[in-house]
Amino acid sequence: MSENKETKMRMLYGVNQADACQAFALGECAGRIQQNLREIDSRIIRLFLYDKGAPDPVTQWATFVSYAEAVLNVGAKPMITFAKMHKPVNDLAAVEEFADRCGDVVRRCIEQWGGDVVRDWYWCIWNEPNNEWISGPVTFAQYRHIYEQIAKRCLRWLKPYLGGRRPLIGGPAVEGFQPFWMDWVWRFLNEIDNELIGFLDWHFYGDWREHGENNAPADGAAHRRLMIGMIGEYGNRARVIGQMLKGRQMLNICGELNCHSHYTQPVRERFNYSVFAATFYTSALLQLMRQDVDAEMYWVGTEDQGGYGMMNNHGDPRPSFYAKKLCAQHIRYGDAISFPTGQSGNGFIDVVVACGEGRRRSALLVHQKEESARYDVSKLVPDITGLRTVLKIDEGSDNKIVQTGYDGRVHFDGFGVAAVTTELSGR
């Protein structure tokens, strides 16, 4: 995209629901959690099978159905992820048996909800096969065989309902910190029959290191500056993958993103439950929008514990939820969008402007500095008029969205996200 060229907002918002699906679907606060997910316009919600404490679809089908129904109740499409085999990946008989079980899930879903519904669901094969911590040692050749066997069985049941469309089957859900991770992307697209692929799924987090660990800055403020300085990597990766996908009629999906993925919960919590994380995540969303990514999926929506969740299992939001709410409610699918701060932002403030139905116009501002700052919006977006409302979360907002009238400027107390809009209040 050339600098500040207007384009259509095509990115779907989504979340992963991994270890806390019980609370999301059946818990006493399930209604509140689902309502919150509606408020952030969740269009895709990822569920796991054979991993992450998921119900066994053979012996616990009713529980699985309740999870999928919860996704549909939000108004989203499920992304069912088949992982893991729990048997050696070089056991060919075990691969065949696992592929049969995965295909049978698709068949039963069609029986339960109908083929015209299930054809629009997403089917992800495996989760981070290039990450030995997650999947154990798996070569690409082994993954390719697993993918092909599962995809063929899924396609067998989906094909009668596709009407010639490409099935929404994909992978490799590749983890972006590993060396040569892009090899997996290239080989996935060039060594697997493309008729079996509907989307390319890739994962990326801001950092995995504690302050001072493995050459990270020991000073927390310096470390945060470093992470913000690298935010353009989301755009770089999205652009390169988009170039690889050109002409293939496949979706480009950033299937996991969050601020931090340290291997211990306390460090993850300190990063991911902060306004800094909310700022980092929203900055990443603007990078993905610029590159016409088809969907993004936050890790994770809800969790009891773990250091990632946008909400806890009672549905109590953390800062990243509120920042995403500002983004999703004011930068909507189908809006005409532009980026007055340029192709990659300027490292201080990043802005996206949206024009939608009913002459609605909004600007989303992301303040990427730890210190306070005040911005004259008319200088950032000189061609937007009629603004009347500011909705903001920053270091001084006490983990909530603060609404004020608009006087031409927006003030941030440290890191923060604000929507300035022609609407009288948030949607």
Dump the DSSP string for 62-114: HHHHHHHHHHHHHT-EEEEEE---SS-TT-HHHHHHHHHHHHHHHHHHHHHH-
Give me the architecture of the 338-421 domain, per CATH. Answer: Sandwich (2.60)
d(CA 98, CA 87): 9
Cβ atoms within 10 Å, residue 136: 13
Task: State pTM to two decimals.
Answer: 0.95
Where along the chain do its domains lie? 7-333, 338-421
Q: What confidence tens digit (pLDDT) does each residue in 271-314 have? A: 999 999 999 999 999 999 999 999 999 999 999 889 999 999 99
DSSP class of residue 346 equals -
Domain 7-333 classification at class level: alpha beta
Residue 409 β-bridge partners: 376
Token digits for 19? Answer: 């270890």
Which DSSP state fits 379? H
Pairing label, strands 416-421, 389-394: antiparallel
Query: Does an H or E element contain 416, and which?
Result: strand 416-421
pLDDT 10s per residue in the chain (427 long)? 445 688 999 999 999 998 878 999 999 999 999 999 999 999 999 999 998 888 899 899 999 999 999 999 999 999 999 988 888 999 999 999 999 999 999 999 999 999 999 999 999 999 999 998 888 899 999 999 999 999 999 999 999 999 999 999 999 999 999 999 999 999 999 999 999 999 999 999 999 999 999 999 999 999 999 999 999 999 999 999 999 999 999 999 999 999 999 999 999 999 999 999 999 999 999 999 999 999 999 999 999 889 999 999 999 999 999 999 999 999 999 999 999 988 766 679 999 999 998 889 999 999 999 999 999 998 999 888 889 999 999 999 999 999 998 999 999 999 999 999 998 664 4
3-class DSSP state for residue 312? coil
Q: Closest by alpha carbon to 368, among 341, 388, 343?
A: 341
What CA–CA distance (Å, rounded) separates 13 from 406? Answer: 28
pLDDT digits (tens, 9 = 90+) for 106-156: 999 999 999 999 999 999 999 999 998 888 899 999 999 999 999 999 999
**Closest listed residue to residue 200, CA positions, set 256, 149, 241:** 241
Evaluate whether 197 touches 224 at the Cβ level (below 8 Å). no
pLDDT tens-digit profile of 232-261? Answer: 999 999 999 999 999 999 999 999 999 999
